[in-house]
Structure 1
Amino acid sequence: MTTTEFVVKYDGPALEYHEIDVEVFAPAMMSLARSLGRTQQVLTPGADPVKLRVKATNQGSFAVTLLAEVPTLAERLVDLVTSKGAEAALNAAGLYAIVTGAWKVLKRLGGRSITDERAVGEQVTWTLSDGEEITIDAVTARVLNDLQFRQATEQFTAPLEAPGISEVSVTSSSEGSNSVVITADETRAFQTPPSTTIDAPSEIVNEFMLQPLGVEFDWRQWRVTDGGSKFSVTMADEDFRHRVDEDGLRIGANDLFKVRMRIVQEPKADGTLRIKRTVEKVLQQYPGGTQGRMDLP
């Protein structure tokens, strides 16, 4: 097992008595662990996960010494990989250097968006929104293009949004020159950009059999089941609504409907998926028996 020791220090007038709210500090440390872990998984998928441990420290503004540990099994994988970045990610010091190096690039970007990317060998050149070009190593680019790494990094800097906390520094105990300081004025640079890995929502249109369970909020929102799960759909078929309102079409609680439904999956800001279902056309109604009509608003 390889280990590397580094100090995370938050500074500012709110920390004069060397105390910090656990609700602010704990999520930041968990996000730091996720940043390390995500970097490792991007560069060495399947490796035993890095562990981040807290070590007792001396008095400071509010400082904590952390130990990053990369399991021995992961170290053995170095013989199986050829990527320089993957080799670095298999040891704790290399993993620390990759993460802090990525943070330094974010500081340099300063919140500017990337409009173009060109890769040549182990170098990547980014064109920024103001026309400036910067060249970084391909390993750092891979890490910064990972949405989960960016989200974890943003959450690590979240304490800087709290009143009285002006900066956070991360310094390696074994490599004193390999440190990074992030100030409260730089938090914009660490915000997660809109996802560039998904160009457009995933969308399908197909025919389905649905059974209505009820109507939510207004007539357009229906609660249904497909026989396996229950979910809400938007009823966009105005002709069907007209047949119900004007022609007296009856809808029984156990009726089945063959519909053409559009399903759209799109990413949310937190990286999870949102699913939208819309019934575009009711193709056929199959009465379920002699049950009463389902009330509609």
Structure 2
Amino acid sequence: MEMSNHQQFHVLFDGPALIEHRMDVRDLAPALIAIADLLTAANHELNGEAASLRVHVNASFKAGSFGIDLVATQHLLSQIRSIFSGSGATAISNGYAIMTMVGFIGSGGLIGLLRRLKGRRPVRIEQKGEVSAVHVSETESIEVDFRVIKLYRNKIVRTSLEKVISPLAREGITDFGVVMRDKVVLDVHDDEIASFSACTTEAVADVVSDTTTHKLLQIESLTFKDGNRWRVHDGLATFCASIEDPAFLKKIDAGERFGKGDVLVVDLRQVQSISGGRLNHESTIVKVLEHRQPLQQASPERTDAGPDAEPAGTGVDLAIA
């Protein structure tokens, strides 16, 4: 036996081209299939194999713009029935929760995040418990439910959402909306299409660690071209580090001399992240505190011997009896 729940909603497209409440099936059919793919993929991403979801078309049509009633039916496997009466009751995202995470309900979710990003690709994403911080830049970040990020990174979810919105690229179709219980819960305009491009899923770094430490670095090679990084050694390993200290960069522009072997006392930021299935390590010199000359090695010869000092070298004292 299975349990199931149903979530009924109404989707509509609006605009001058739909004034007679007719829509080209070549625009409508892919959008409806994409809605089914979107919610099915979101359900699988959030619930795995514990629940399945299908989207059905209701027989009734509503007047007004061109709209159609849909029902998202979620089937829950019988063996997980017990979690609904125990502490694991929140382990399964139901149909309403899935639509909220997608952004069809509540003005947030994935759609809300994409609207705030406006087509920009995040610099990195950090998870803090059940909240994820999406860094648009080093000074701007957006906090969302960690499940939204799972959907953001899911290629099927993103491409399906892009297809749902795609009819807005047609001349005369200006709005896509979702209605529940006669209330508009989502309205997307045609000037927002760029925000829903699926290509922004690529190369988003998942930060594992982000630390800033006080370090002594020895310069191994350097370049004064903008954007290039210096090769440095910290006593353990050699690596490349970019420089973001504006005061130090001004000294470089003013002609301060640097060379191989010079030592810098710095605040060094090191970020370890995962991107595209690869582990990355990025080092940034946030601030240069001191510039020193190359380290000097102590001379192996003794230069402080006085007049009473013993002769250098090795020898054996002999005595004749």
- Equivalences for 1:95-174 in 2 at 5 Å? 95-100=98-103, 101-129=109-137, 131-173=139-181
Task: Give the C-alpha shift of residue 47 in structure 1.
Answer: 3.4
**Equivalent of residue 68 in structure 1, options 61, 64, 72:** 72
Task: Give the C-alpha shift of residue 131 in structure 1.
Answer: 4.2
Task: Give the C-alpha shift of residue 60 in structure 1.
Answer: 1.6
Pair member with larger Rg:
2
Determine what percentage of the aligned residue pairs are the same residue.
25
**Letter paired with 2:67:** A
> Given that residues 152 and 201 in structure 2 are in contact (C-alpha distance below 8 angstroms), is that contact kept between their aligned partners in structure 1?
no
Task: Give the C-alpha shift of residue 169 in structure 1.
Answer: 0.6
Asked whether 1:7 is paired with 2:10, we answer: yes
Q: Structure 1: how far apart are the matches of 2:202 and 2:118?
A: 18
Aligned twin of 1:87: 92
Aligned twin of 2:61: 57
Q: Structure 2: how far apart are the matches of 1:11 and 1:122?
A: 37
Task: Give the C-alpha shift of residue 77 in structure 1.
Answer: 5.5
> Given that residues 168 and 181 in structure 1 are in contact (C-alpha distance below 8 angstroms), is that contact kept between their aligned partners in structure 2?
yes
Q: Structure 1, residues 29-61: CA drift from partner, whole Å, max 9, x if none? A: 111111101111111112342111111122121
> Given that residues 121 and 200 in structure 2 are in contact (C-alpha distance below 8 angstroms), is that contact kept between their aligned partners in structure 1?
no
Aligned twin of 2:299: none
Q: Which runs of 4+ in 1 moved over 6 A?
A: none
Asked whether 1:23 is paired with 2:31, we answer: no
> Given that residues 83 and 89 in structure 2 are in contact (C-alpha distance below 8 angstroms), is that contact kept between their aligned partners in structure 1?
no
**Letter paired with 1:152:** S
Q: Structure 2: how far apart are the matches of 1:70 and 1:18?
A: 30
Task: Give the C-alpha shift of residue 138 in structure 1.
Answer: 0.4
SS in 1 for 2:113: helix
Task: Give the C-alpha shift of residue 75 in structure 1.
Answer: 9.0
Task: Give the C-alpha shift of residue 165 in structure 1.
Answer: 0.2
> Given that residues 27 and 167 in structure 2 are in contact (C-alpha distance below 8 angstroms), is that contact kept between their aligned partners in structure 1?
yes
Cα distance, 1:72–1:124 mapped onto 2, change above 3 Å: closer
Q: Structure 1: how far apart are the matches of 2:148 and 2:73?
A: 21
Instruction: State how many pairs are aligned.
Output: 195
SS in 1 for 2:198: coil
Q: Normalising to structure 2: TM-score of the pair? A: 0.56
Aligned twin of 2:195: 189
> Given that residues 40 and 49 in structure 1 are in contact (C-alpha distance below 8 angstroms), is that contact kept between their aligned partners in structure 2?
yes
SS in 2 for 1:46: helix
SS in 1 for 2:123: strand
Q: Structure 1: how far apart are the matches of 2:80 and 2:179?
A: 27
Q: Structure 1: how far apart are the matches of 2:74 and 2:176?
A: 24
Could you list the runs of 5+ residues in structure 1 that have no partner in the other structure? 200-266, 268-297
Task: Give the C-alpha shift of residue 62 in structure 1.
Answer: 0.4
Q: Structure 1: how far apart are the matches of 2:33 and 2:50?
A: 19
- Equivalences for 1:258-273 in 2 at 5 Å? none
Q: Normalising to structure 1: TM-score of the pair? A: 0.60
